[in-house]
Amino acid sequence: MIAIKAAMKNKLAEAGIGYEEISVFGTIRCNVHIKCLSRVTADKWASLLSQVFKGERVTIIETVWDAKGNKGTCLLPTKRHVFLIAVAG
């Protein structure tokens, strides 16, 4: 099962759509989480995942993540606005 998930992650990375991070995980179901910066890119990923996982609900969630490097203070850390695309098949 690990080899199948690694192969799926590689195929998604080769899709030609921009991303920040791709995660393929799960023991009972195959869960896919993709992080990207643009809403247009998120819509492209949602379209691709809905074709791969037919009948499953693909969700796009606008969220905030901590930036890799903090340029603010401890009370006002640097954040990044990203989109999380998720599907469980």
Please tell me the total count of domains within the chain.
1
User: Which H, E and C letters describe 67-79, residue by residue?
Assistant: CCCCCCCCCCCCE
| pLDDT tens track for 20-76 | 999 999 988 899 999 999 999 999 999 999 999 999 999 999 999 888 899 988 889
The alpha carbon of 71 is separated from its chain's Cα centroid by a whole number of angstroms, namely: 25
Full domain range(s) for residue 59 = 2-88
What's the pLDDT at 74?
A: 84
The CATH number of the domain holding residue 8 is 3.10.28
CA distance 71 to 82: 18
Q: Looking at the chain, how many residues does it have?
A: 89
Listed in sequence order, the residues at least 6 apart from 7 whose beta carbon sits closer than 8 Å to its beta carbon are none
Helix residue spans in the chain (DSSP H): 2-13, 39-52
